Structure 1
Amino acid sequence: MRQEQANAAPRGGEVIPAQSVGESYLALLKQRGIDYFYVGAGTDTVSIVEAYARADQSGIDFPTPVLCTHENLAVGMAHGYYMISQKPQVVMLHVSVGAANAVCGIMNASRSQVPMLFTAGRTPLFQDGKRGSRNGEIHWAQEMLDQGGMVRELVKWDYELRDGCNMEQVVDRALGISMAEPRGPVYLMLPREILAQEVDGFRPSRPVAIPAPPHPDAQAVRELARRIAAASHPVIVTTASGADPDTVDLLVKLAERFGVGVAEAKARHTNFPSSHPLHLGHDAEAVFAKADALLFLETDVPWIPGKTRPRDEAFVAHAGTDPLFNRYAVRSFRSDLTLTSNARALVEALHAALEEQGAADTAAARRAALEASADAARQAARNIMQRVLAKDGPITKLFLTHCLDEVRPQDAILVNEYSAIRPQMRFDEPGTYFGNPSAAGLGWGLPAALGAQQAAPDKAVICVVGDGAYIFANPAACHHAAAAHKLPVLTVVFNNARWEAVYRSTLTVYPGTHAARYAEEHETKTGPLSSLDPVPDFEKYAEASGGWAERVTRREDLVPALRRALEVVTKEKRHALLNVIGA
């Protein structure tokens, strides 16, 4: 949510006829711009259930409830909705056990700087004597001495609501901290007795303003501009600046005006148009070979020290809302200049500073050299794909990627958890590509795609996942949600019956040893601990919830199957799945 949008929220008004803190809480969320309430219901949500049951009588406007039958689904959908809407989301799960199931999703949200009011009920405080006190055996066993400790390392703030009298102040503080940059999830525990407290109406007050985003130090920006203007091959490398779609066009204007190349490092968004003549591709080694000035913008891992690094004589700067990524225990990369700023503010300030430096006057020479490098990067990518297409055989990830890029609508949203090869795809429109979070908590892709579809109902949403990531997503719960909430996502599963990352990682550490020989000696496609055989018939997960599904085993059948599936999701508005058997 932009600052001007946040400040335009309602500023108080008439008394809302709430009868409980639970009703007041839901009404406040709606007043604060929360449209959906992602919930995994439990014994702690009784006041929430009662509030929704009474809504026709009370006339109170609440967020639309989105029932989720697994906690990872709830958090992932909230994550996906934010990716598209840029509005913070609210999740409520069932006490300690529900929160525990969601920790992986919270880690993904934390590393991706996704604002989220993550809440869970708390085991009732009292054994008896109050409405909402304990009335089931589980209320003893589920209590934890420090429930918030499960997520404290991953959230920006955690608290327990102690009384209904300050519910509004606590919720506003939670939302404010979550939206303050660097954004991220916060955690609030909601005891059942507190939600059940009776109130005689509720009048929301003025919302608290969200802090303005950080802007870079002017002197540091001038130094950065001086270095870029003096360079012959300056490059901006970005991983996640496109999380704010407005930065894409700003970055294009800066690159064109001043002759600056843009490369992507493990891109998780559309950061810069793929087809732009100044897009230098995704190969860090090729970029570093020529770059004499580098700005890493919202890039958590700018290079892998054991593989490549910038030249010693190159100028290296880092920038972002949290440029040191302070939650990463070990992270040490060379930096000659480090700036704290959100991406949009930095690009705008750098544009002005480069103008002052007269960098536009010398841009032509830089642009010619950079465009030659960009052409070489595109040709290298084409050569790889041409070799793939020139031979027959089973479906590979590269072949799947080629087919996806051929058939997908250019404004479609693609959510990729591993199996699509990003450097071989063309994404020119902001907000059309989302890659798995840096934490890589498996099971993110399909829930996030469902949330993205909810935020963009008029667009095709394609989710590309590996077989392992699909299983981790709790597919029965995801397809149930697709049917229940009318979210026609197309899921493409690349099914090679193994965790390829596990096997490949083993071979990099132990090349030419036992793991390398294991597959041949045992007549299998992979090594120990990475086979998923026997793989389920994934089609049946989708079909069980009324979806369309098809298995694809031959190369020549893949494009027609993708077209049929896209027809189903865009015309019939049904969720669909392709089980692509690959190598």
Structure 2
Amino acid sequence: MRPTVAEAFLALLKERGVDRFYIGAGTDTAPLVEAYARSAESGLAFPQPVISTHENVAVGMAHGYYMVTGRPQAVMLHVSVGAANAVCGLFNAARAQVPILFTPGRTPVFEGGHEGSRDSEIQWSQEMFDQAGMLRELVKWDYELRDGSNVHQLVDRALAIAMAHPRGPVCLTLPREALAAPLPESAPWPLPAPAQVAPAGPAPDPAAVAQLARALASAEFPAILCTGSGADPSTVAALASLSERFGIAVGDARSRYTCFPSSHPLFLGHDHVVVLKRADALLFLEADVPWVPKKGEPVAKLVAHAGTDPLFTRYPLRGHRTDLAITTTIAQLLPALSSALEDCGALRDADARRARALAWAGELRSAARARADADTQRGGAISKSFLTAAVTATLPADALVVNEYPVARERMPFDEPGRYFVHPTSAGLGWGFPAALGAQQAAPDRTVVAMLGDGAYLFANPAACHHASQLHGLPVLVIVFDNGGWEAVQNAATLVYPQGTAAAQVRAGGSAPLSNLAPLPDFARYAEASGGAGFRVSERAELEDVLRRAFRVVREEKRQALVHVTGRG
């Protein structure tokens, strides 16, 4: 017997390497429910369904799974209302260049006369004139399945576009009648080879690379600053090799990954504003917001940007100085740049350049140590810096860290790529906990830690996240830093009005209006309600012991745990 379109669709996902089908089921998913129910009878292989009780959790888990594996996953949510709840997660995926095959259901097209046509009152009120319009600005491609005869072409095209550089989410809307119908005789079965595949990533223009190499070679303090290059783990060792060979220092510009080894003697650290003040030739790698003009502009003679979309054309306003822009994957740029540096004679002065870079990096490391020592000596309530140092001291060697706000990066060094992940610059709150669950699913033998601010934790729909942790056997350790409010809101007010009344209230020990969230819930009980262990700590002397106990729960008992840390920002 030929399958239904729903069965063909699921089988096609599995055939194309989609391991997980993250789903918030609804009235529109009836054909998929039936497909899974009769999978033993049909003998067809489908992706593992991952039930989610909130749309943000589903999209965030798919995001996290891709971060670790590099393979895009599929998400299906309930018609217009589910798609609406998913927009924040898709915004994060779009800005982080994370490919997700988003396949929302659609209210049945017909009022009757077709398998799967309308049978519930909500199917009239939930319909929109243009359901995909709410997310069209965030996806690279969107379409609707009209008939099962070309379901294989549409899935292949969607996946190819999602994986084409710059990568990002795509949307294929699935009406219920189309899924419920038998696969037409005109559609190929068994499944054919892919109709389309993603193109190879762009290679850099040789003339532009030569211009960049000359600028770096002639500079006294050349520097490379990274934001998203570490999304490709292979670039980390290649960048370190280039740095060592030619004496070019490397730093982070609010990096979302490990882009360069923290212990490397040529590492400039994480305060890129100080780098802007000295570097006389600058190369930014996959940096969507390379600097904030109010905090400092680069003094370099040449400012270059490299990435798959170095102008970030989907950002309506982005006026950062760009003397040279190179469209390329970083993996292809680095060997080309190394060759160009060699060709222009950069090795002749490499020793002198390296000595200056080593001294510069040493100065910045000393400054970072001084800041850490000052925090330790200050004592008092647990700070972000102290929390980060305690987590680093207790972190298992295999652990992955997913950070949404509380990490003081200079106190959490990583040398290996693929172990540290940060929220996208869009900062759609609630990303970190779901992304950590997806990362745990992708790396079941690793310890995964989600470090969240209190606001980020609340926005993650914690009851749904803890439920997913228990339901799918994902023993993530969640560390929530609770400073009683939205620090970003308060900081924004004091930056805009440094002499204002809100700033005065903060200086006096209070909080700015609209930022205080107290009294906050006892977060530990969320984890306990879903079979996990909950801990609460407010004293510096107790922190490391509590963290070690929590790590034992997730590693030995294979249960989720949450550590609620109360402190100051």
TM-score bracket relative to the smaller structure: over 0.9
Q: Are positions 1:294 and 2:282 aligned together?
A: yes
Question: Cα distance, 1:520 vs. partner?
Answer: 7.1
Q: Identify the match of residue 297 of structure 2 among 309, 330, 333.
A: 309
Listed one character per residue, the Cα deviations across residues 312-334 of structure 1 (whole Å, up to 9, x for unaligned) are x5211111100000111110111
Alignment of 1:258-269 (within 5 A): 258-269=246-257
Q: Identify the match of residue 336 of structure 1 among 323, 341, 350.
A: 323
Q: Are positions 1:56 and 2:44 aligned together?
A: no
Distance 1:536 1:452 in 2: 27
Question: Cα distance, 1:390 vs. partner?
Answer: 1.0
Contact 2:405/2:452, CA 8 A, preserved across alignment: yes
Q: Identify the match of residue 556 of structure 2 among 561, 568, 571.
A: 571
Contact 2:96/2:424, CA 8 A, preserved across alignment: yes
- The corresponding residue for 2:493 is 506
Distance 1:554 1:72 in 2: 33
Listed one character per residue, the Cα deviations across residues 345-393 of structure 1 (whole Å, up to 9, x for unaligned) are 1112111211222322321111111111111111111101101111321
- The corresponding residue for 1:114 is 98
Distance 2:271 2:424 in 1: 20
Q: Are positions 1:278 and 2:263 aligned together?
A: no
Q: Are positions 1:319 and 2:319 aligned together?
A: no
Q: Are positions 1:150 and 2:134 aligned together?
A: yes
SS in 1 for 2:210: helix
- The corresponding residue for 1:12 is none
Distance 2:507 2:379 in 1: 22
Listed one character per residue, the Cα deviations across residues 188-230 of structure 1 (whole Å, up to 9, x for unaligned) are 1100000000137832111122100011101111111111111
- The corresponding residue for 2:394 is 407
Q: Identify the match of residue 182 of structure 1 among 166, 169, 173.
A: 166
Contact 2:156/2:197, CA 8 A, preserved across alignment: no
- The corresponding residue for 2:529 is 544
Distance 2:470 2:172 in 1: 30
Listed one character per residue, the Cα deviations across residues 369-424 of structure 1 (whole Å, up to 9, x for unaligned) are 11111111111111011011113211111111111111112431100000111122
Distance 2:398 2:22 in 1: 27
Contact 2:403/2:451, CA 8 A, preserved across alignment: yes
Q: Which moved more, 1:215-224 or 1:195-204?
A: 195-204
Question: Cα distance, 1:519 vs. partner?
Answer: 4.8
Alignment root-mean-square deviation, CA? 1.2
Distance 2:553 2:104 in 1: 37
Alignment of 1:461-472 (within 5 A): 461-472=448-459
SS in 1 for 2:515: coil
Q: Aligned AA for 1:246?
A: S
- The corresponding residue for 2:344 is 357
Structure 1 gap segments, 5+ residues each: 1-16
Distance 1:439 1:289 in 2: 26
Residues 209 and 499 of structure 1: CA distance in aligned 2, closer, same or farther (over 3 Å): same
Q: Aligned AA for 1:267?
A: S
Distance 1:148 1:66 in 2: 23
Q: Are positions 1:418 and 2:405 aligned together?
A: yes
Contact 2:402/2:421, CA 8 A, preserved across alignment: yes
Q: Are positions 1:367 and 2:354 aligned together?
A: yes
SS in 2 for 1:437: coil
Distance 2:96 2:177 in 1: 34
Q: Are positions 1:221 and 2:209 aligned together?
A: yes
Q: Are positions 1:484 and 2:471 aligned together?
A: yes
- The corresponding residue for 1:13 is none
Contact 2:106/2:174, CA 8 A, preserved across alignment: yes
Distance 2:129 2:15 in 1: 33
Distance 1:363 1:67 in 2: 55
Q: Are positions 1:83 and 2:70 aligned together?
A: no
Distance 2:84 2:64 in 1: 20
Distance 1:130 1:551 in 2: 56
SS in 2 for 1:272: coil
Distance 1:392 1:569 in 2: 29
SS in 1 for 2:294: coil
Distance 2:273 2:544 in 1: 33
SS in 1 for 2:556: helix
Contact 1:295/1:318, CA 8 A, preserved across alignment: yes
Distance 1:486 1:59 in 2: 26
SS in 2 for 1:190: strand
Q: Identify the match of residue 398 of structure 1 among 385, 389, 400.
A: 385
Distance 1:432 1:307 in 2: 29
- The corresponding residue for 2:118 is 134
- The corresponding residue for 2:462 is 475
Distance 2:37 2:77 in 1: 19
Contact 1:411/1:429, CA 8 A, preserved across alignment: no
Distance 2:504 2:282 in 1: 41
Q: Aligned AA for 1:224?
A: L
Question: Cα distance, 1:284 vs. partner?
Answer: 2.4
SS in 2 for 1:306: helix
- The corresponding residue for 1:553 is 538
Q: Which moved more, 1:397-406 or 1:132-141?
A: 397-406
Q: Aligned AA for 2:418?
A: G
Structure 2 gap segments, 5+ residues each: none
Seq. identity, %: 58
Q: TM-score, normalised by structure 2?
A: 0.97
Listed one character per residue, the Cα deviations across residues 100-142 of structure 1 (whole Å, up to 9, x for unaligned) are 0010000000000000111100000000111100000000000
Contact 1:542/1:549, CA 8 A, preserved across alignment: yes
Q: Aligned AA for 1:243?
A: A
Q: Identify the match of residue 243 of structure 2 among 255, 258, 274.
A: 255
- The corresponding residue for 1:14 is none
Q: TM-score, normalised by structure 1?
A: 0.95
Question: Cα distance, 1:527 vs. partner?
Answer: 1.4
- The corresponding residue for 2:198 is 210
Q: Are positions 1:525 and 2:510 aligned together?
A: yes
- The corresponding residue for 2:52 is 68
Q: Which moved more, 1:408-417 or 1:325-334?
A: 408-417
Listed one character per residue, the Cα deviations across residues 458-513 of structure 1 (whole Å, up to 9, x for unaligned) are 11111000111000000000011111111111000001110011011100111122
Q: Aligned AA for 2:442?
A: A
Contact 1:255/1:262, CA 8 A, preserved across alignment: yes
Question: Cα distance, 1:18 vs. partner?
Answer: 4.8
Q: Aligned AA for 1:333?
A: H
Question: Cα distance, 1:281 vs. partner?
Answer: 1.1
Q: Aligned AA for 1:58?
A: S
Q: Aligned AA for 2:87?
A: V
Q: Aligned AA for 1:326?
A: T
Distance 2:519 2:112 in 1: 50
Residues matched between the structures, number: 564
Q: Aligned AA for 1:162?
A: R
Alignment of 1:94-105 (within 5 A): 94-105=78-89
Contact 1:538/1:579, CA 8 A, preserved across alignment: yes
- The corresponding residue for 1:19 is 3
Distance 1:120 1:546 in 2: 31
Q: Which moved more, 1:509-518 or 1:446-455?
A: 509-518
Listed one character per residue, the Cα deviations across residues 54-74 of structure 1 (whole Å, up to 9, x for unaligned) are 011111100000001100000
Q: Aligned AA for 1:503?
A: Q
Contact 1:410/1:429, CA 8 A, preserved across alignment: no
Q: Aligned AA for 1:223?
A: Q
Q: Aligned AA for 1:314?
A: K
Distance 1:399 1:314 in 2: 38
Alignment of 1:431-446 (within 5 A): 431-446=418-433
- The corresponding residue for 1:193 is 177
